[in-house]
Structure 1
Amino acid sequence: MNHQNNLSHNHLRAFQPEKLTPPRKFTIPEALQRETLKQPLILEIGAGKGKHALSFATENPDKHLIAIERTRNKFEAFHRLFTQQSLDNLTPVHADAIAWVVHAIAPNSLAGIYILYPNPEQHNPNQQWLNMPFFEFLLSRLQPEGKIILATNIEAYIDNAEQQAAKVWQLPYSRNVVANDSDRTHFEVKYLARNERCWQLTMTKPEGYLTRFDHWQMIDTF
């Protein structure tokens, strides 16, 4: 099925990846340098102190997770825990996720993406993930039938994300309330302990889904 002709995101301002410089001290992780990486590649954006990343890598030895955190103190806490464990299927990255993805991730290479409890950007909704032109680029890095999992405790955020997924990005999705005993991140534990409701939006990239970046990558990346 060809989605290119009826996707309303083609009318949005296009993301401009060529304008982004590499993150400071940028290198391609070993996991992405392997010629024949057989493990499905998963990306986590905003890994915080690494609670979900460490648990995911432990519970999914058949997958390789790249977990990105921008904030220095959170990343350092994450990295300390990472060094105490023997997890060769986890790559922690300290960088801005947008620039890093542009320079490091090839088209159609990710089996899944986690965005768990992002900054709600309530005063700047253009910076919410599904409102950004970058989201189209992110979809181009995802394999067909790959999933993006977004979780938040902000009802207005999940309402907007659901609307954008349906109307702008035209992605099949499911919306669910997070179970009360879920403990993927420190934020999730805190919110649920306060009896707050949390939501998850699971979006799937269909076969034949096209973006304007399906063949775009940095010339000197691979």
Structure 2
Amino acid sequence: MTIIHLEGEAQHFPHPPEDSVEAGQASEPAAIPFPRAVRSFVTRAGRVTTGQARALAELGPRYILSFDTSTPDLVAACSNKTRAQGKEYAKTVLEIGFGMGAATAHIASVQPDTLFIGCEVHEPGVGALLKTMGEQNLENIRILQHDAVEVMRHMIAPGSLDGIHIFFPDPWHKKRHNKRRLIQPPFVHELATRLKPGGYLHCATDWEPYAEQMLAVLNGEPLLANTAPDYAPKPEYRPQTKFELRGLKLGHGVWDLVFRRQ
């Protein structure tokens, strides 16, 4: 469920169907220069359906947050606002790259006491999640349609998160592109500093070489401790996506990694 943004704004094209791109699975755009900095998403094609457009128009103003560098503690800002509305959440979890939002909606439905802040720039995905939220009356999700790396660096205060989810980020299969992967030591260190003591970082991937890199990087972060000897059993709250189920039928593996802030 969260991805490297190349220079310029994300653009969407009308030809692929909305379900042709799964969470965190994006193809590399052609003829685009190597990015100057790692970010949390790639430019992806997609079209916004009528239902998604309606959800964006009707629910977007309520649930989509603005990227604002003058808000250095987004968690506190959200808590103050929801408290004023008569609702207080026990925990806050940041999700990087939620794709079409199916897993996000499921987890939010089984953890109603947690506020989920999801970062996703793919407009059909944002519309799809908002549509599901409306259908299921889910109110414990907020969305930032912005690069999650910038959100985390400018709007997430140290020690403010109870959890971070990064499900199926782009694996950048080619060796020469491995440096574009999101899970790298500097970024993982920044993620770890945003967690409360005891907070968790949950990553999942279906690409074994990336799983191996994730394990090495996470093990190398002194602020984090593995909750398992190596890879963790899939937590009950994380559902299997359509993409994941297709992969499992083809004999592909899926690796979950769950680390806690020490």
TM-score with structure 2 setting the length: 0.62
The more displaced of 82-91 and 194-203 is 82-91
Letter in 2 for 1:183: P
Residue 33 in structure 1 maps to residue 78 in structure 2: yes
Report which structure shows greater RCO (CA 8 Å, sep ≥6). 1
How far the C-alpha of 1:94 sits from its partner, in A, is 1.6
Q: Work out the CA distance in 2 between the residues paired with 1:98 and 1:41.
A: 17
Superposed structure 1 runs of 4+ greater than 4 Å apart: 27-31
Helix, strand or coil: the match of 1:112?
Answer: strand
TM-score with structure 1 setting the length: 0.72
Structure 1 residues 80, 31: CA separation in 2 closer, same or farther (over 3 Å shift)?
A: farther
Q: Work out the CA distance in 2 between the residues paired with 1:153 and 1:57.
A: 23
Q: Is the 8 A contact 1:51 1:184 kept in 2?
A: no
Helix, strand or coil: the match of 2:133?
Answer: helix
Structure 1 residues 34, 165: CA separation in 2 closer, same or farther (over 3 Å shift)?
A: closer
State percent identity of aligned pairs: 26
Structure 1 residues 56, 146: CA separation in 2 closer, same or farther (over 3 Å shift)?
A: same
Provide the residue aligned with 1:54 in structure 2: 105
How far the C-alpha of 1:64 sits from its partner, in A, is 0.9
Q: Is the 8 A contact 1:177 1:198 kept in 2?
A: no
Q: Work out the CA distance in 2 between the residues paired with 1:93 and 1:170.
A: 27
Q: Is the 8 A contact 2:188 2:221 kept in 1?
A: no
Q: CA RMSD in A?
A: 2.7
Structure 1 residues 47, 31: CA separation in 2 closer, same or farther (over 3 Å shift)?
A: farther
Deviations 1:24-80 (A, max 9, x none): 952567973333654200111110111111011110111111111122222222222
Query: Which structure 2 residue ranges, 5 or more long, are not aligned?
Result: 1-36, 38-64
Which residue of 196, 212, 218 maps to 1:165? 218
Q: Work out the CA distance in 2 between the residues paired with 1:39 and 1:64.
A: 8
Structure 1 residues 32, 184: CA separation in 2 closer, same or farther (over 3 Å shift)?
A: farther
Residue 192 in structure 1 maps to residue 245 in structure 2: no
Provide the residue aligned with 1:83 in structure 2: 134
How far the C-alpha of 1:145 sits from its partner, in A, is 1.1
Structure 1 residues 168, 122: CA separation in 2 closer, same or farther (over 3 Å shift)?
A: farther
Q: Work out the CA distance in 1 between the residues paired with 2:100 and 2:145.
A: 11
How far the C-alpha of 1:155 sits from its partner, in A, is 0.7
Residue 93 in structure 1 maps to residue 144 in structure 2: yes
